[in-house]
Homo-oligomer: A and B are copies of this chain.
Amino acid sequence: MRAFLYRQLFPRGWFHAGLSPANKILFAAILIAVTIAILETEPTLNRDPVLAEIFRAGDWLFALLFSAEYLARVWAAGEEPRYAEWRGRLRYMRQPFPLIDLIAIIPFFISLGTNDAFVVRLARLLRILTLARLGEFSEAAMLMGRALAVRRFELLLSFSMAMGVLIIAATLLHMMEAEAQPAAFGSIPRAMWWSVVTLATVGYGDVYPTTVMGKIVGGITAISAVVLIAMPTGMLAAAFSEVFQAHAKRMREDDDPPPPTGPPS
């Protein structure tokens, strides 16, 4: 029984490709729980008595399901020698992913145990945290993290340069536009909202330069945004490409018999 649960709940205990049936159900349950948590915040849906009932039933269902899963997972962890005995179980519970599992359950119980509107609302928002559990199922997120780690030096440098341009552009626009638009450019922190919206090329249009000098500096900022975006784009592209290719190669080598290293000479 415990061995069965272990194989079903622990990806490293499942020797077939993909996820185990139990983990597939859990994966879907997490997606549904997050979707409900998102929809519950919408007043036009929340006021509908039928939907409110469904949302409440979902809260109960997922509170029970994720609790049961957590207990089963802690119990089944004993299959691994390092997590055997109650001491091992405590050690397991202190691991990062089991901790996330536990934290993600709490909001479900908070929203069931109180009627205080503010607490209920906060608990609902915290249920979005369940999203973090999806990372657990996926080896790919780890690959992503590794790709970012490999280039952390270059990315930090790009980021620093972008921050430098952000501050300089905000300072210049503050100098040009402070008099004409004190609300938007009256200080450097205010002008930084314009800077960040321009350098990310979002351009909401709530703030923009209106003087001739401000437009000239703003135009140069917009053009330098293209260069600033180009840097991390290229670096990340190369980093992901390398990490995924190395992974694909390792996978092929695991599957295939090792090729002879060369023709006998």
A contact set with B: CB distance below 8 Å: 34, 37-39, 41-43, 125, 128, 131, 134, 138, 140-141, 144, 153-154, 157, 160-162, 164, 167-168, 170-171, 174-175, 186-190, 192-193, 196-198, 200-206, 208, 215, 219, 222-223, 225-227, 229-238, 240-241, 244
Q: In the complex, which residues of chain B have a beta carbon less than 8 angstroms from the beta carbon of A203?
A: 197, 201-205
Smallest distance from the beta carbon of A82 to chain B beta carbons, Å?
30
Q: In the complex, which residues of chain B have a beta carbon less than 8 angstroms from the beta carbon of A125?
A: 171, 174-175
Give CA–CA (A34, B204) in the complex, Å: 28
* Other-chain contact of A230, B34, B193, B206, B233 (Cβ < 8 Å): B233
Tell me whether A197 and B222 are in contact in the complex, defined as CB-CB below 8 angstroms, given that A141-B157, A233-B234 are known contacts.
yes
Listed A/B pairs (8) with beta-carbon separation below 8 Å: A38-B192, A134-B160, A144-B157, A197-B222, A201-B201, A202-B202, A204-B204, A235-B244
Smallest distance from the beta carbon of A176 to chain B beta carbons, Å?
12
Smallest distance from the beta carbon of A174 to chain B beta carbons, Å?
7
Q: In the complex, which residues of chain B have a beta carbon less than 8 angstroms from the beta carbon of A128?
A: 167-168, 171, 188
Instruction: Find out whether the CB atom of A42 lies under 8 angstroms from the CB atom of B236.
Output: no
Instruction: Find out whether the CB atom of B235 lies under 8 angstroms from the CB atom of A231.
Output: no
In the complex, the chain B residue whose C-beta lies closest to that of A143 is: B157
Give CA–CA (A104, B38) in the complex, Å: 39
